[in-house]
Chains A and B, each alone.
Chain A
Amino acid sequence: MKILVIEDEASMQEIIKETLEKEKYLVESATTYDSALDKIISFDYDCILLDITLPDGSGLDILFELKKLDKTSNVIIISAKNSIDDKVAGLNLGADDYLIKPFHIAELTARVKSILRRKTLGGKNELVINNVKVLFDDRIAFVNKEALALNRKEFDVLAYFMVNKNRLVNKTSLAEHVWGDFTDESDDFEFIYSQIKNLRKKLKDHHAEIEIQAVYGIGYKLIAL
């Protein structure tokens, strides 16, 4: 899997690179409009992360070039601007997703993986870890072919952890991903704990070979047993 990161901010680029390399992806990067253009014309990528504001041009123009090359289906726009106009323009030009800075690395991983799954599995949008299988489109999870009775939020939590296997998932990141922006000020996310407790119990009851571990003070981590 080859991913191109077009981002002018060196530190940001480093972070994205490190995050994605942990998932065993091959990551290349471009910091300017021109070098980005060179790369997209010369090579094919499975996923492109595109910053809208570049020092020598607009990311939207790169998107336009990609559209001409018919390569837009796997682009995630990264922007510091939560601008509806940019979002609409980007998605209209064929970008797949729009991620607003600051984002959590778990969220980034989830978005990239979602794109790669759709691209590579030929419609079979699923993920398997040991005896646990998640079907994203049908929103069902199985342990040993036996369906887990999960409510909507529990499924979202499990899916998010599955995608971020072995990665530290910040509790804010989890809350934002599953419950949306409005949960932000709510009592240090204590309520998440009760949701995870339920989920853990259901997984254990079905003898799932995965475990959601608490990481002291920060969040959780899903590991394969």
Chain B
Amino acid sequence: MRLHNYTLLYLSVALFFIIGVWASIFYFQMLDEVYDSIDDNLQNYKILIIKKAKTDSTILQKVTFDESNYSIKKLPSIAASKTKDIYKDTLMYMENEDDLEAVRLLKTVFTINHTDYYELNILSSMVEEDDLIEDLFYSLIWLYAILLVSIFLVNTFLLRKIWKPFYDLLNQLENFNLSSSNFQPLKTNVHEFKLLNNSVSDLLKKNIELYTSQKQFIENASHELQTPLAISINKLELLAEKNELTETDLYMVASVIENLQRLTRLNKSLLLLSKIENKQFSDEETVSVNEIVNRLAEDFSDLASFKNISIEVVQHAELSVKMNKDLADVLLGNLIKNAVVHNSSNGYVKIILEQDSVLIENSGDQTLDAQHIFKRFYKNAAEKNTTGLGLAIVKTVADKYGFEITYSYNDKHCFRIGF
């Protein structure tokens, strides 16, 4: 959920309750005021009628409401003395509405000359409560809707305006790339954003430093390993030459050499990876992919024929790419080597050159995990002799030049490089 809608959701729930509570308080207060006003009016009317009755005794005969809004009834003196003013709500038939409507009734008792007691009933039309509630309800619904719409609009505007630095930052972080470190600090006067900006800046700086030093470390470590590796292998080679060793000794020496050579290969691959990442293959030229593929196919022909694997190069087009020549060799060489080495017996390798892509297909029994094959040190448990870095190197080279590399399996392994 976007920040925008999130705020709106909370505000709409809060407003719903606030307006609800406010509406009930408002309703009762208003009703109270209305009653107060009506009752005052009735009181005033009462005084006027009593005054009139003292001078004009004809109105004392008015026992029903009829067209006017009061009635007078003579009372026996005993009962009347205790009666006080009573206001009450009651219903009365209204001609115009053809229905019973709420009215306010004042029942009071007055006396003339302290001998005759009369009961006076005065009516006043009332607020129709159900209508009032209905009106109030609709007004409030409107208020609520308009409030939400205005909050939405204001919020949109504010988010765009005030939160711009925030979204800019977010956008930058989304596109941030450790190796190209393209972070631009924000320009903002808001304290919190400044803080965020500084924190993010610091964090990224530390990360970039860490990344760079780690890359540098791998390169340096690999370099430093070369000499001791060379010494160990060469000393063992000299030892093996000495003709003093038994066959068992030789076998052990051979096994140590073999392992040291694996270590050397691993080290070389790591070095190559960090060199590519450290941008040490900067010189580019237009290289002919056809030429490289044909040469590589020839290079691998001995190995392939030993394994009874056929290599076929299908050239649908002449393909040239602007890139580093050595890396072009590494990219295609690793893929073709993979196709030859990880093949089924009596299998085939087919290299298809298209206008803007190279397809390298080879026979194989089961699909590889497309998610992980390009990760470093990913390898099949059964293959002890691979470094698990070949495809990682391929991917690194492809990424460096923005080539698209994909793997698919359809009864055969298929790697495609889109240039």
Q: Which residues of A are interface residues toward B (Cβ below 8 A)?
A: 9, 11-12, 15, 18-19, 22, 80-84, 100-106, 153, 167-168, 170, 172, 179-180, 182-188, 190-191, 194-195, 215-218
Contacts of B322 in A (CB 8 A): none
The answer to whether A15 touches B240, judged by C-beta atoms less than 8 angstroms apart, is no
Kindly report which residue of chain B lies nearest to residue A102, judged by CB atoms.
B230
CA distance A2 to B231 in the complex (A): 23
Q: Does B116 interact with chain A (Cβ within 8 Å)?
A: no
29 A-B pairs within 8 Å (CB atoms) are namely A12-B227, A12-B230, A15-B238, A19-B234, A80-B224, A80-B230, A84-B281, A84-B326, A102-B226, A102-B231, A102-B233, A103-B230, A104-B234, A104-B237, A105-B237, A105-B238, A153-B302, A168-B240, A168-B241, A172-B258, A182-B334, A185-B390, A186-B303, A195-B302, A215-B240, A215-B250, A216-B247, A216-B250, A217-B254
3 tightest A-B contacts by CB? A102-B230, A217-B254, A191-B306
Cα A15 to Cα B229 with chains together (Å):
13
Q: How far is the CA of A9 from the CA of B251 in the complex (A)?
A: 29
Q: How far is the CB of B377 from chain A (nearest CB, A)?
A: 14
A185-B254 in contact given A12-B227, A80-B226 (Cβ < 8 Å): no
What's the Cα separation between A84 and B324 when bound, in Å?
12
How far apart are the CA atoms of A19 and B230 in the complex, in Å? Answer: 14
Task: Determine whether the beta carbon of B247 is less than 8 Å from that of A82.
Answer: no
Q: Would you give the shortest CB distance from A89 to chain B, in whole angstroms?
A: 14
Q: Give the docked Cα–Cα distance between A187 and B299 (Å).
A: 16
Tell whether A218 pairs with B250 under 8 Å between CB atoms, given A80-B226, A186-B341, A191-B302.
yes
B371 to chain A, nearest CB (A): 23
Question: How many Cβ-Cβ contacts under 8 Å join chain A to chain B?
Answer: 113
Chain A nearest Cβ from B120, distance in angstroms: 117
Rounded to whole angstroms, the CA-CA distance of A183 and B224 in the bound complex is 25
In the complex, the answer to whether B238 meets A191 with C-beta atoms within 8 Å is no
- Which of A104, A187, A217 lies at the interface centre, i.e. has the most chain B CB atoms within 10 A of its CB? A217
Residues 229-286 of B contacting A (Cβ, < 8 Å): 229-231, 233-235, 237-238, 240-241, 247, 250-251, 253-255, 257-258, 261, 264-265, 268, 271, 280-281, 283
Quick check: is B386 within 8 A (CB to CB) of the other chain? yes
Q: Does B201 contact A (CB under 8 A)?
A: no
CA distance A215 to B237 in the complex (A): 12
Cα(A101)–Cα(B334), bound, Å: 22
Interfacial chain B residues near A186, Cβ < 8 Å: 303, 337, 340-341
Closest-by-CB residue of A relative to B271 is A82
Q: Is A168 touching B237 in the complex (CB atoms < 8 A)?
A: yes
**Most B CB within 10 A of own CB, among A9, A12, A19, A101:** A101
CA distance A167 to B234 in the complex (A): 13
| B333 at interface by CB-CB < 8 Å | yes
Measured in the bound complex, the distance between the Cα atoms of B304 and A195 in whole Å is 12
Classify chain B: how many residues form its interface, as a range.
35 or more
CB distance from B3 to the nearest CB of A (A): 51
Q: Which residues 88-114 of B sit at the A interface, judged by CB distance below 8 A?
A: none
B385 touching A188 by the CB < 8 A rule?
yes
A188 partner residues in chain B, CB cutoff 8 A: 258, 385
Measured between beta carbons, the chain A residues less than 8 angstroms from B387 are 185
Whether the pair B265, A185 counts as a contact (CB closer than 8 A) is yes
B300 at the interface (CB under 8 A from A): yes
Closest B residue to A184 using CB positions: B265
Q: How far is the CA of A201 from the CA of B334 in the complex (A)?
A: 33
Closest to A108 in B: B234
Do A179 and B231 touch across chains, with their CB atoms under 8 A apart? no
Nearest residue (CB) in A for B336 is A182
Q: Interface 1/0s, chain B 217-232, versus A by CB < 8 A?
A: 0000001101101110
Give the Cβ gap from B342 to chain A, nearest Cβ, in Å: 10
| Interchain nearest-CB distance for A130 vs B (Å) | 21
Does B337 contact A9, Cβ atoms closer than 8 Å?
Answer: no
Asked whether B257 lies within 8 Å of A170 as measured between CB atoms, the reply is yes
B307 at the interface (CB under 8 A from A): yes
B227 near A101 (CB under 8 angstroms)? yes
Which residues on A sit within 8 Å (CB–CB) of B337? Answer: 182, 185-186
Additional pairs, 4, CB under 8 Å, beyond known A105-B238, A185-B337, A187-B385 = A80-B230, A101-B229, A102-B229, A103-B230
Instruction: Tell me, in angstroms, the Cα distance from A186 to B306 when the chains sit together.
Output: 11
Query: Which A residues touch B303, using CB under 8 A?
Result: 179, 183, 186, 191
Asked if A185 and B386 sit within 8 Å, CB to CB, the answer is yes
For the complex, what is the distance from the CA of A84 to the CA of B307, rounded to whole Å? 34
Task: List A contacts of B302 (CB < 8 A).
Answer: 153, 179, 191, 195
* Assembly CA distance A215 to B268 (angstroms): 27
Give Cα A188–Cα B264 distance, bound, in whole angstroms.
Answer: 15
> Do the beta carbons of A80 and B223 come within 8 Å of each other?
yes
Tell me whether A217 and B238 are in contact (CB under 8 A).
no
- Taking CB atoms, residues of chain A closer than 8 Å to B268 are 82
- Asked whether, in the complex, the Cβ of B223 is within 8 Å of the Cβ of A81, the reply is yes
Interface residue from B237, B280, B341 paired with A170 (Cβ < 8 Å) = B237
Kindly list chain B residues whose C-beta atoms are within 8 Å of the C-beta of A167: 241
A194, closest chain B residue (CB): B306
Q: Provide the bound-state CA to CA distance between A191 and B308, in Å.
A: 11
A19 to chain B, nearest CB (A): 7
Contacts of A180 in B (CB 8 A): 299
Contact between A102 and B264, CB atoms less than 8 A apart? yes
B241, B254, B255, B333: which contacts A182 (Cβ < 8 A)? B333
Contacts of A216 in B (CB 8 A): 247, 250-251, 254
A190 to B268, CA, bound (A): 23
Chain A contacts of B255 at CB under 8 A?
Answer: 217
| Max count, chain B CB within 10 A of own CB: residue among A15, A80, A100, A153 | A80
Contact between B250 and A11 (Cβ–Cβ < 8 Å)? no
**What is the bound-complex CA distance between A191 and B247, given in angstroms?**
23
Establish whether residues B341 and A185, one from each chain, have CB atoms under 8 Å apart when the complex forms: yes
Contact pattern, B 187-231, Cβ under 8 Å of A = 1, otherwise 0: 000000000000000000000000000000000000110110111
